[in-house]
């Protein structure tokens, strides 16, 4: 069974940092691109960042470029999101999601974690 389990969320002050982790199991992690998607309270979904299967390529939405860093450790089957210079508007639930371009085509997210809540407030 495919499982994605996020951790590391919580309350953080504006301007500070937080690192999210996503532990993957039930599939060969290093065969898949991975992504982070966020959802502000009572709002819709927003793609944040994607990393290629081997970590060689990363992509970000403009609002997080230079502040967020997506990375992965294939030996540990774990995805990360380092979030620096956090703003109140970054408050959201952050989901990790799996991509499989070869099976589904570009940009399809076929498995999702349960999410980690991040609240940016003083």
Please state, in angstroms and rounded to a whole number, the distance separating the CA atoms of residues 43 and 68: 21
Task: Choose which of 61, 74, 77, 84 interacts with another protein (CB under 8 A).
Answer: 61
- Residue 44 backbone dihedrals phi, psi, to 5 degrees: -85, -175
Q: Report, in Å, the least distance between residue 62 CB and another protein.
A: 7
Does residue 7 touch another protein according to CB under 8 A?
A: no
Specify whether the CB–CB gap between 38 and 87 falls below 8 A: no
Task: Choose which of 9, 21, 30, 47 interacts with another protein (CB under 8 A).
Answer: 47
Q: Which residues bind another protein (CB under 8 A)?
A: 37, 44-47, 59, 61-62, 95, 104-115
């Amino acid at each position: 069974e495919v499982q994605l389990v996020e951790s590391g969320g919580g309350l953080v002050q504006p301007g500070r940092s937080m690192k999210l982790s996503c532990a993957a199991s039930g599939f060969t992690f290093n065969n898949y691109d991975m992504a982070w998607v966020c959802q502000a309270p009572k709002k819709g979904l927003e793609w944040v960042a994607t990393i290629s299967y081997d970590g060689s390529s990363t992509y970000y939405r403009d609002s997080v470029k230079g502040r967020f860093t997506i990375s992965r450790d294939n030996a540990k089957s774990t995805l990360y999101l380092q979030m620096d210079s956090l703003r109140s508007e970054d408050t959201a639930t952050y989901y990790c999601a799996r991509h499989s371009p070869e099976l589904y085509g570009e940009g399809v997210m076929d498995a999702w974690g349960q999410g980690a809540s991040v609240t940016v407030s003083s």
